[in-house]
Amino acid sequence: MVMGDLVNEVDVAVIGGGPGGYAAAFRCAELGLETVVVDAYKRLGGACLYEGCIPSKALLHVAAVVHEAERAKDFGVDFGEPRISLDPLRKWKTERVVGKLSRGLAGVAKAKGVQVVGGHAAFEDSRSLRIGGDEPQVIRFAHAVIATGSTPARLPGFPMSERVMDSTAALELSEIPERLLVIGGGYIGLELGQVYAALGSAVTMVEMTDGLLPGADRDLVQPLARRCEKLFAAIHLETKVTAIREISGGVEADLAGKGTERFDRVLVAVGRRAATDGLGLEHTKVRFDGRGVVTVDERCRTTDPAIYAVGDVTGEPMLAHRASRQGKVAGEAIAGRPVAYDNVAVPAVVFTDPEVAWCGLTEVQAAREGRAVKVAKSQWAASGRATTLGRSDGVTKLLADPESGRILGVGITGPGAGELIAEGALAIETALLAEDLALTIHAHPTLSESVMEAAESLFR
Ligand code: FAD
Ligand code: NAD
């Protein structure tokens, strides 16, 4: 510390105002701890609110409306071709959706007495942080929570530019390119690829593995893959982009084994990296791996006794709801409560058309671990509700323990799968048996009946 530094002493300093950071800060404040959040942008919400979950879901809602209007032609209702006005669309996403939620979070922080400081934070040692920017100061803390999140992974040798975008740039929607190359067939590539396709771009997707959404069960991905085959201009699996060149008015990309193609823009969506660069972790006892992922135990404690970590910076799964659960655990642990992050099911939802959602054990994982499971499926072709929606392309699947009948995993593909998976997460967390799901009355006609019907099929 240098003489003359402005020094702020607090019980808890949280670095990063995303869903992990603000959940930790709010819980600490509720439990009577004086808490400050330091965020580079002096705002709460993080990547999730400003460049992730929320703006992407706002745009996916627009895509869903476009798709529904197209499908309505099957019932004899023709809305005509959509006319997209980018300015009002951007304004709605930024002001009415993101802005509204941002103001809401600022209000909650104020009500709970959580101070938000703007600036880049770096550890000076295990008890103090130096904050740069407009409000330079040193914050001395009893405990700190690292919640710095993640940033888009880069492809070595492919510099980003106006035409070569990461997800943050793609969400700005500066234009609708005629031809868009999407590198990566994971969460972001699929969600934003569908957004741009609905807005009128011809989308080419390149994925290096042999299937979209690697890691998810193939039977869940299949209806989405079929839909993408219709929506996208091309999908190249087991393909890598080996070079990208900026040319006049566009970009030229070499697709290994598939020649050279011209695009107007490129979206690079090849994963995210934990954000620990420049955080001064070398001045603490916090241990992290070669990819910057901070090691934590079940109470979200790092290897430095005063420092906790939550969210994307602690590695996979990099999901907002997992970050906020960890944030609450860290807050309670700091306040001395007996608590652990012992969740067995983190629901995953890909908000595409159709949605793909799963939680707990997957069939791929069961096979890899040599674990015996009973698998039950209910195809939506037999569902009354799915038929009234004109959507028979869904499937609901349960994985149960063959001896006890305990529900170990749930997977759902179809419209609304992201909402339906909540029943699966509850079933797994509360150790329900397949019989419990089969005997619970599910309203008719709803898509949720498919969960009951899949469970019933185990007893036939
Ligand atoms: P973040 O939200 O990344 O917040 C970290 C904050 O820390 C940022 O504000 C950053 O500016 C700040 N920061 C970093 N370093 C410093 C420093 N040294 N000093 C000061 N401040 C710092 N997840 C879902 O669950 N559902 C979705 O639908 C979903 N959609 C997504 C869509 C996209 C396009 C993307 C990119 C991600 C999406 N995610 C989604 C993932 C989700 O955004 C992250 O899992 C979540 O934001 C992680 O929260 P976090 O608190 O760990 O960190
Ligand atoms: P991802 O890990 O989901 O997908 C990346 C894809 O890129 C993979 O399929 C991978 O095989 C492929 N890939 C990697 N290198 C490649 C290369 N050189 N060429 C071609 N393909 C390549 O990562 P993402 O889509 O960037 O998303 C990052 C993370 O953000 C997700 O893992 C998730 O945790 C989070 N996220 C969640 C949601 C949601 O919850 N709905 C939405 C968006 C993002």
Whether the Cβ atoms of residue 12 and residue 28 lie closer than 8 Å to each other: yes
Q: Which atom of ligand 2 is nearest to the CA of 312?
A: 34
Q: Whose alpha carbon is nearest atom 41 of ligand 1?
A: 319
Q: Whose alpha carbon is nearest atom 6 of ligand 1?
A: 16
Q: Whose alpha carbon is nearest atom 22 of ligand 2?
A: 184
Q: Whose alpha carbon is nearest atom 40 of ligand 1?
A: 53
Helix (H, G, I), strand (E, B) or coil at 71: helix
Q: Token pair for residue 163?
A: 């035409």
Helix (H, G, I), strand (E, B) or coil at 144: strand
Q: Which atom of ligand 1 is nearest to the CA of 312?
A: 52
**Residue 319 and residue 15: Cα distance in Å, rounded?**
18
Q: Token pair for residue 318?
A: 């990099």
Expressed in angstroms and rounded, the spacing between residue 256 Cα and the centre of ligand 1 is 32
In a 10 Å sphere around its CB, with 0-12 CB exposed, 13-18 middle and 19+ buried, how is residue 133 labelled?
middle
What local confidence, expressed as pLDDT, does residue 50 receive? 98
Helix (H, G, I), strand (E, B) or coil at 376: strand
Q: Token pair for residue 26?
A: 């709010």
Which residue's entry shows tokens 């759902």? 412
Q: Which atom of ligand 2 is nearest to the CA of 239?
A: 20
Nearest ligand to the C-alpha atom of residue 417: 2
What backbone phi and psi angles, to 5 degrees, belong to 411?
A: -135, 140
Q: Which atom of ligand 2 is nearest to the CA of 155?
A: 18
444 is catalytic: yes
In the set 143, 283, 442, 444, the catalytic residue is 444
Which pLDDT tens digits describe the chain residue by residue (460 residues)? 565 678 799 999 999 999 999 999 999 999 999 999 999 999 999 999 999 999 999 999 999 999 999 999 999 999 999 999 999 999 999 999 999 999 999 999 999 999 999 999 999 999 999 999 888 999 999 999 999 999 999 998 889 999 999 999 999 999 999 999 999 999 999 999 999 999 999 999 999 999 999 999 999 999 999 999 999 999 999 999 999 999 999 999 999 999 999 999 999 999 999 999 999 999 999 999 999 999 999 999 999 999 999 999 999 999 999 999 999 999 999 999 999 999 999 999 999 999 999 999 999 999 999 999 999 999 999 999 999 999 999 999 999 999 999 999 999 999 999 999 999 999 999 999 999 999 999 999 999 999 999 999 998 8
Expressed in angstroms and rounded, the spacing between residue 55 Cα and the centre of ligand 1 is 12
**Residue 29 and residue 26: Cα distance in Å, rounded?**
5
Question: Cα(first)–Cα(last) distance of the chain, in Å?
Answer: 71
Q: Token pair for residue 423?
A: 């029943």
Whether the Cβ atoms of residue 232 and residue 193 lie closer than 8 Å to each other: yes
* HEC readout, 3-20: CCCCEEEEEEEEECCCHH
Nearest ligand to the C-alpha atom of residue 209: 2
Q: Token pair for residue 143?
A: 């405990």
Expressed in angstroms and rounded, the spacing between residue 47 Cα and the centre of ligand 2 is 15
| DSSP 8-state secondary structure symbol assigned to residue 153 | P
Whether the Cβ atoms of residue 304 and residue 220 lie closer than 8 Å to each other: no
C-alpha distances in Å from residue 238, one per residue of 29, 33, 209, 235? 49, 52, 5, 10
Whether the Cβ atoms of residue 165 and residue 266 lie closer than 8 Å to each other: yes
Expressed in angstroms and rounded, the spacing between residue 128 Cα and the centre of ligand 1 is 24
